[in-house]
Amino acid sequence: MNQHDPAEQAKDEGREGFDSQTSDDSALEAENAALQMALAAMREETLRERAELENQRRRMARELDTARKFANERLLGDLLPVFDSLHAGLKAAGTETHPLKEGLEMTLRQLLKTAADNGLVELDPKGEIFNPEKHQAVTQMAVPGAAPGTVIDVFQKGYVLNERLLRPALVVVAADGNA
């Protein structure tokens, strides 16, 4: 028989619609899952990029701060011999008051203040304990009453720029009296 029963035919058509509907739902669910995964990956990538940008911003701020701190390092380093000359001139002038000596003292004070405003600190460690990180021992001497390892004289003052040693102080250190 080539003819089908109309009830059977309607039943078959209903099954085809149901199968088609189920197929569409599965495809949508798969597409939804793929989109959810893509969205999660994009969120993760965005967070990573934000963190990387924040780290880069912090690194650049640190580098800029360091550059500002040490921008004058060469200039201040070049002024150290000028400070040494002024100290030597004042030492040679003795203790007597004289207008030239007063002018040298004022010039040295102004230069040191300007240098200090730019982060330079003078090291004059006489009487302090020898610190190999900031001092360079030129010689040792046994000196009565001086504790061993104490700086008893300074040949050349040292300088620190923003907590970085620019030049160590050249010093004489007290030796053990038994040596």
* pLDDT tens string 48-68: 999 999 999 999 999 998 888
pLDDT given at position 127: 92
Is 87 in the same domain as 50? no
Residues 97-108 have a mean pLDDT of 92
Residue 94: which pLDDT band, with cuts at 50, 70 and 90? confident
- Which of 21, 37, 69 is where one domain is finished? 69
- Which of 69, 84, 103 is where one domain is finished? 69
Q: Which of 129, 115, 118 is nearest to 79 (CA)?
A: 115
Is 119 in the same domain as 151? yes
In a domain, 179, yes or no: no
Is 62 in the same domain as 48? yes
Q: What is the pTM of this model?
A: 0.64
d(CA 128, CA 92): 25
Crossing angle of helices 73-93 and 99-117, rounded to 10°: 160
Is 27 in the same domain as 84? no
pLDDT given at position 1: 47
Is 86 in the same domain as 153? yes
In a domain, 122, yes or no: yes
Is 33 in the same domain as 45? yes
Residue ranges making up the domain that contains 125: 73-174
- Which of 17, 51, 69 is where one domain is finished? 69
Write down the mean pLDDT value for the chain. Answer: 88
